[in-house]
Homo-oligomer: A and B are copies of this chain.
């Protein structure tokens, strides 16, 4: 139905960055990295292509609590941990919880595209620096 998009050097480079990264990257970071080789690349182009790639299910995105969108190459569905302090995102390697999808199917007229389980809290490194701060405060 939806036809295949035309090739673009820029989109290809964006996808390549994500293929070779095992984390979750922001659009401006992708832009920064590609600028070294494609000095004319526009940030708007990065955003436009990321949106397109996501709708083609080649990549996926997740937002942190500050509404910043992080992108990664499409992987097996998995869950995420979002740090409330630094905004960093980490993968959780526990099996996907599919029960929701099957549970809601009785509500037949819903169309479910994505199930996201996200834990919010304070990550290891932020937690440690928090503790250190408390110690120094007590003096």
Contact = CB atoms under 8 A, between A and B. Distances in A.
Nearest to A79: B100
A65 B130 CA distance: 31
Contact of A119 (B81, B115, B118, B121): B115
Interface string A113-135: 11111111111100110000000
A2 B124 CA distance: 23
Interface residues of A, number: 32
Interface of A: 63, 67, 79, 81, 84, 92, 94, 97, 99-101, 103-104, 107, 109-124, 127-128
7 contacts: A63-B63, A84-B113, A94-B100, A97-B99, A110-B127, A113-B121, A116-B120
